[in-house]
Structure 1
Amino acid sequence: MTKPGKQSGRQYTEAEVRAILERALRDAQTREVSHDELVAAAEEIGISRGAIEAASRDIEHVRGEEAARAAILAHRRKGFRSHLFSFLLVNAFLFAVNALTDGPWWFFWPLLGWGLGLAFHALGALSSDVSPRQIHRELERGAAQARKEQGRRLKAQRRAERLERQQRLERSAEDFGHAVEEGVATLLSRIAQEIRGSAPPPPPSPPPGEGVSKRSRIAPLEEDEDESEALGEEEADRAARRGRGGR
């Protein structure tokens, strides 16, 4: 068994490094590698972060050009398929009209003229040649669409934040209103308690039966005085009558 220390002193050329890395990546399990992992792996073999950043930008540019090229070719083929469908449908209708009516055959004239235009369209649509100007225009169009999409996302995010802020303000105002109502109710309750505490106490009510007993004691005395006055007046009348009779 070979010890690991015996391999540490070996040196590899640039071509060998590329071949070894390609072989290792091909034999390893396929998975996506993040940018940080790529930078860390490059630094292990002595490649600077700046070189990795520049190479990654080049790869992104190449990837964008390839995507733009694929989009252009797909758009061309889609247009050709639509053109071919219209060509077949219309010329089939013209053939049916020419076959069902009397007269010479004329449908092949529009078929020939339109077929020539379709052939030129096929040459351009089925070709894989894309000019740099077309790629640049497609990249600009994709960038414009990306900016529009980002603008829509930002607008939606701002709208959601504004709605959330408005709901938070409404909840705060509602809580403040409840707090004010509770404070006013508490203040009024305290004022009422202070007013009740400062009022003079009511006079004590007499015990049951006391007022009745006093009136009952005063009423007989008044009746006795009236009776004695009446008796005195009767005695005086009798004495006056006896004096007049004796004379």
Structure 2
Amino acid sequence: MGKPDEQSGRRYTEAEVRTILERALRGAQARDVSHDELVAAAEEIGISRDAIEVASRDLELVRGEDEARAAILARRRKGFRSHLSSFLLVNAFLFAINALTPGPWWFFWPLLGWGLGLAFHARAALSSDVSPRQLRRESERSAARARSEQLLRLKEQRRVERLARKQRLEQSAEDLGQAVEEGVATVLSRIAQEIRGSAPPPPPPPPPAEDAARRRRIAPLDADDAESEALGEEEADRAARPGRSRR
């Protein structure tokens, strides 16, 4: 085994670099690598960012073509399986009719004609040849499907955001209404307290019915006493007058 300084002085060709990297990636732990990590690793060995960008776009195109080819072949095979199921069911039904009814055997004529068409269909379905035109059309169809799915996701996201915004507005309006009601109640309570603090004292309660009657009974007696006192004073004045006249 060579020393580290001897290993660092070795040079590798492009094919050797590719082979070493492929073996290292196979031996490393499998994980996804981000684009930034790929660019950083390439710059470590002297590959520019532009070269990585071009290679990644080419890889995306190749990946898109592979996905389009796989979708086309899968659709072909699915159509052939459906065709084969229809062929077997219908021809079994025709055979049963021909066997249960008197007369010559005629079911093999539609069997042969349909079987010929099924053979051509099988040849096209089991073939892996795909024309560039078909690949382009499939890529356009996939792109349109991806755009439609993205639009649906955006619509659903906007609908969820509108619903959340509506709920927030309703909650804010409810909180504001409660705050206004509490504020109005507080203001009214303070005003009532101020009014009660500045109002004059209430008048004394009216006397009961018994006190009023007693007062009415006492009032005539007081008038009689005053009249008696007035009569006594007049008599005293009369008695004093003759004495004054005799003198």
Per the normalisation by structure 1, the TM-score is 0.82
The residue number in structure 2 matching 1:53 is: 53
2-structure distance, mates of 1:68, 1:202: 97
Distance in 1, Cα, partners of 2:219 & 2:79: 128
Residue pairs, 1:182-201, within 5 angstroms: 182-201=182-201
Structure 1: which amino acid aligns with 2:197?
G
The answer for unaligned runs of 5 or more in structure 1 is 206-210, 233-247
Residue identity opposite 1:187 in structure 2? V
What one-letter code is carried by the residue in structure 2 that aligns with 1:171?
Q
Where do 1:29-44 residues align within 5 Å? 29-44=29-44
CA distance in 2, matches of 1:31, 1:171: 46
Q: Does 1:169 align with 2:172?
A: no
SS of residue matched to 1:102: coil
Indicate the SS of the match to 1:183.
helix
Q: 1:229 to 1:25 in 2, by over 3 A?
A: closer
Pairwise CA RMSD: 2.9
Q: 1:225 deviation in Å?
A: 5.7
Shift of 1:34: 2.2
Partner of 2:120: 120
Rounded to whole Å, the distance in 2 between the matches of 1:49 and 1:74 is 37
Work out the number of aligned pairs and report it: 227
1:131 maps to: 131
Deviation digits for residues 61-83 of structure 1, max 9, x if unmatched? 10110111011001001100110
The runs of at least 4 consecutive aligned structure 1 residues that moved more than 3 Å come to 202-205, 215-232
Is the aligned partner of 1:6 residue 2:23? Answer: no
Kindly state the Cα deviation for residue 13 of structure 1 after the two structures are TM-superposed.
1.5
- 1:223 deviation in Å? 6.4
State the alpha-carbon separation in 2 of the partners of residues 94 and 217 from structure 1: 134
Name the CA distance, whole Å, in 1 between partners of 2:54 and 2:88. Answer: 51
- Letter of the 1:37 counterpart: E
For residue 92 of structure 2, what is the aligned residue in structure 1?
92
Q: Which AA in structure 2 matches 1:145?
A: R
**Partner AA of 1:96 in structure 2:** A
Identity among equivalent pairs (%): 76
* CA shift digits 1:160-211 (9 cap, x unpaired): 1111111111111111111111111111112112211221234679xxxxx9
Indicate yes or no: 2:81 matched with 1:81: yes
The alpha-carbon deviation at position 229 of structure 1 amounts to 8.6
Q: Encode CA deviations 1:84-130: one digit per residue, 9 max, x unaligned.
A: 11001100110110011100111011111111111111111111100
Match of 2:110 in 1: 110
Match of 1:15 in 2: 15
CA distance in 1, matches of 2:222, 2:2: 144
Distance 1:15 1:73 in 2: 33
Shift of 1:49: 1.2
Return the alpha-carbon distance in structure 2 between the equivalents of residues 22 and 190 of structure 1: 84
CA distance in 2, matches of 1:29, 1:196: 84
* Cα distance change of structure 1 residues 196 and 31 upon mapping to structure 2, 3 Å threshold: closer
- Normalised by the length of structure 2, the TM-score is 0.82
1:156 paired to 2:156: yes
Within 1, Cα distance between the matches of 2:191 and 2:81?
Answer: 88
CA distance in 1, matches of 2:229, 2:53: 138
